[in-house]
Structure 1
Amino acid sequence: AQVAKGGSAGSVGLVAQTVLLPLALAPGTSEVTLRGGTHVPWSPVYDYLKRVYLPTLKWMGVEAKVQIVKWGWYPVGGGEVKATIQGLPSEARLEGLALLQRGELLRVRGLSASSNLPKHVRERQEGTALGVLRSNGVNPRLDLLDGPSKGTGSVVFLWAEFENVLAGFTALGERGKPAERVAEEASRALLAYLQGDGALDRHLADQVILPLALAAGPSSFTTESATQHLLTNAWVVNQFFPGRVRVEGVEGTPVTLCTVAGGGL
């Protein structure tokens, strides 16, 4: 992905996370145009940023909004997202978070989207997701979206809103992968999370390590499982700020507790 010009299938989500904190800690308002892959593997898709990551950081004091203009799928890319980041006031600091319990489940939402594919693809994704979730006692509301793009692709994204946390689950289509399997993957990931007790989903857990490490005060959270990404991000932060992040558990440990001392820059 690139800032402002060009555009590939590189992850817009990863670049957005890279520039977010420096701009949030700088004075004034920043407006950034990111071009690349908005919905590509091994990275947070646009919808995860908008529905889970940025709302969680807002509780810390980060004010940022994203708006998708064009969808970018692997391998063509060419997506475009506009981001607006409001810098913190001069005397303000990021606040730590305590996310140990999910609280009551308020609602489950989702979307089934595709670009340059027959409408029945996203309709089949929607129908399968609704069937799997409703048969397990979850009654979500799903939107059908036809994303403007120069590429071809599909996605099912589900997010759960609790009293204290947000969680998101993504499955992407690919050549030869039935629409029903795409929906099944996202739905089963959500159901597996709902059956556990950890507050943060496994992806959000590793993505909040750095923001929490830069907060003025301490933070703590539980997560559904300790992943290699979580352990690696904790290790990297501790190279710059020794002892600031502590993860209790090894890879695969369920309901892992993570404490972050904070302390700012």
Structure 2
Amino acid sequence: MKVVRKYGKASGQCINFEKSSLLFGKRIAVNDRQQIKDTLGNQSEAGIGKYMGIPEDISGSKCRLFAFLKEKLLHRVNGWTGRWLSKGGKEVLIKSILLALPTYVMSSFLLPLEICENLASAIAQFWWSSNPPKRGIHWAKWEKMCAPREEGGVGFRMIHEFNLTLLAKQLWRLVQYPDSLVARVLKGKYYCLSSPLRIAAVDNPSYVWTSISAAKKLLLLDIRSKVHSGYEINVWQDPWIPSTPARPARPRVRVVNPKMLVSSLMNSEQK
């Protein structure tokens, strides 16, 4: 509380404790929870509600946790009279509203494939049905409908692939802005002595970090390390050779020094 008051006095931003709640980990004993709540002014305990449209407690079955996305989408669809809409009107609604509904959640969390398939199924049913809620005939696979127009599709988004793209964007921001608050917090917990693109598996990661890490393979497909001095680039691991796609150096014999840096290959005088 002393730290909180000091922060409020320095910044002018005070915490509204009436609108605040506490979220405890499962290992916190009941007596400790009560003592903390009493110290902070008998605040309520969080975990069953939502904050900015996202569940407060991200634990347990992820399919059950994110099932509200399909319910939200179906609620929106059922409010439209599909029989009076042309295909062009449905296309606009799908692209501007239905496919945008889960974007905020997908920018931080990796949705289970089951949830992605459920969302795609609900959107496809709305597209093909001419008399809701009756199910229409699906004349083409949803993957075909998601292809670009020049390839014969309509240009809808593949939900799982779009989810990975949004998470890759978050990972790229960690690389581009290492001094941001969220980057420093994640670096202190998951990659103290490395880069977010180089780390392997970590012990007991949060679901947010698990989600962001899932996009690493996608991001590595199209990036290349700029050499400059070469002091931070591993010869055998980092993609620094400017091929398409970029790649690390390929050894012709057994690697003697797996941690060799590109700087060791350069003439320091002639650059």
Q: What's the TM-score bracket when you normalise by the shorter of the two chains?
A: under 0.3
- Asked which structure has the greater RCO (Cα within 8 Å, sep 6+), the reply is 1
TM-score by length of 1: 0.25
Scaled by the length of structure 2, what TM-score is found? Answer: 0.24
| Structure richer in strand, relative to its length | 1
